[in-house]
Amino acid sequence: MTLVTANPELNVHASEQAKTGSPWVLVVGASSGIGRAVARRWARAGSDVLLAGRDVEDLERSAADLRLRCGRRAEVIAFDALDFDSHESFWRECLDRAGGDLAGVVMLHGWMPAQADAQNDFALARKAIDTNYTSAVSLLTLAANDFEQKKRGFLCVFSSVAGDRGRQSNYAYGSAKAALTAFLQGLRNRLFKSGVTVLTVKPGFVDTAMTWGLPGLFLVATPEKVADDVFVAVGKRRAEIYTPWFWRYIMLIIKSVPEFVFKRMKL
Ligand SMILES: NC(=O)c1ccc[n+]([C@@H]2O[C@H](COP(=O)([O-])OP(=O)(O)OC[C@H]3O[C@@H](n4cnc5c(N)ncnc54)[C@H](OP(=O)(O)O)[C@@H]3O)[C@@H](O)[C@H]2O)c1
């Protein structure tokens, strides 16, 4: 049954739920600054949420808060992105907890090393690639195959503006996000005919632990603003968003600088 309310945003959400048949949304990386806001946004709109991540105690506190404030079901599942062998059983557990069916997945786990460290230590560069890209490919493969077979569901995955053009200040992280963006383009292309939506999210600077103390930040957004943008974009079945919106134009300018100029810039 589709619930029609006076709030147009809730109506978008209700019609999405009616399509998928499940009230459950999985948030991977739910202990992240943005992940908490995302879980809250979906729970406020009437979803039940599965919170996945490494810090189970932190996630249990968030789950209790969501149950209290939003009156929705909220459950915690341990997930380590770098433990690839555990991904299949993790996905099965998610489906079990959700009664066999998820409305969608929001995937936000990520890790950004200091570039100076990553360029001197391959283990750190590899950790950035594995956390931001390889683990996402592994989990998205499981989720995409399941949703494709059921012909429904949404995949909402956090890439970054850092993946739009490699810069000397963070290209280890940026290259992993660029790979993720390309993977999502292909996945979206493949899943289109099955009705499964794939949203690529490209945030600019957001006020979270990832950016805490970094120099040169400007136009920093709140996690709540990003969560609102993402929620609306999923409801509208969008393919890609920059959040806040003006980063699309900032990146358009950055991408259009000719390489012979760009390579001389201190970015
Ligand atoms: N903040 C920004 O300015 C910004 C800009 C562009 C894109 N993004 C992207 O947005 C997403 C969320 O970022 P945020 O700023 O909210 O990040 P954050 O607060 O630093 O959180 C990162 C999250 O990733 C999780 N994580 C890291 N390694 C993991 C692993 N091996 N297994 C499972 N979880 C792991 C962390 O879990 P633990 O709590 O266990 O460490 C945490 O939940 C990320 O994908 C990030 O790349 C952020």
The answer to whether 239 and 155 have CB atoms below 8 angstroms apart is no
Closest by Cα among 228, 244, 195 to 38: 228
Q: What is the pLDDT of residues 18-77, one digit of tens each?
A: 556 899 999 999 999 999 999 999 999 999 999 999 999 999 999 999 999 999 999 999
Q: Is 133 a catalytic residue?
A: no
pLDDT of 112 = 97
Q: Specify the 3-state DSSP secondary structure of 102.
A: coil
Q: What is the Å distance from ligand 1's center to 84 Cα?
A: 17
Q: Is the CB of 1 under 6 A from ligand 1?
A: no
Q: Which residues of the chain have pLDDT under 70?
A: 1-20
SS3 107: strand
CA-based diameter of the chain, in Å? 59
Q: Is this model's pTM higher than 0.85 or not?
A: yes
Q: Where are the domains of the chain?
A: 24-262
| Distance in angstroms (rounded) separating the CA atoms of residues 200 and 242 | 9
Element (H, E) at 5: none
What pLDDT sits at residue 60?
Answer: 98
Q: Both ends of the chain: CA-CA distance in Å?
A: 52
- Ligand 1 neighbourhood includes 32 CB (under 6 angstroms): yes
- Distance CA(183)–CA(13), nearest Å, equals 26
Tell me, in angstroms, the distance from the centre of ligand 1 to residue 204's CA.
14
- Could you give the CA distance from residue 29 to residue 53 in angstroms, rounded to a whole number? 5
- Is ligand 1 within 6 A of the CB of residue 208? yes
Is there an atom of ligand 1 within 6 Å of 109 CB?
yes
Q: Is the CB of 158 under 6 A from ligand 1?
A: yes
List the beta bridge partners of residue 202: 242
Distance 264 CA to ligand 1 centre (A): 31
Q: Which residue has its alpha carbon closest to ligand 1 atom 22?
A: 32
Q: How far is the CA of 86 from the centre of ligand 1 (A)?
A: 19
DSSP string computed for 220-241: PBPHHHHHHHHHHHHHTT-SEE
The first and second tokens of residue 194, run together, are 């099955």
The burial class, CB within 10 Å (0-12 / 13-18 / 19+), for 169 is middle
Q: Tokens 């970015």 map to which residue?
A: 267
CA distance 184 to 245: 20
CATH superfamily assigned to domain 24-262: NAD(P)-binding Rossmann-like Domain (3.40.50.720)
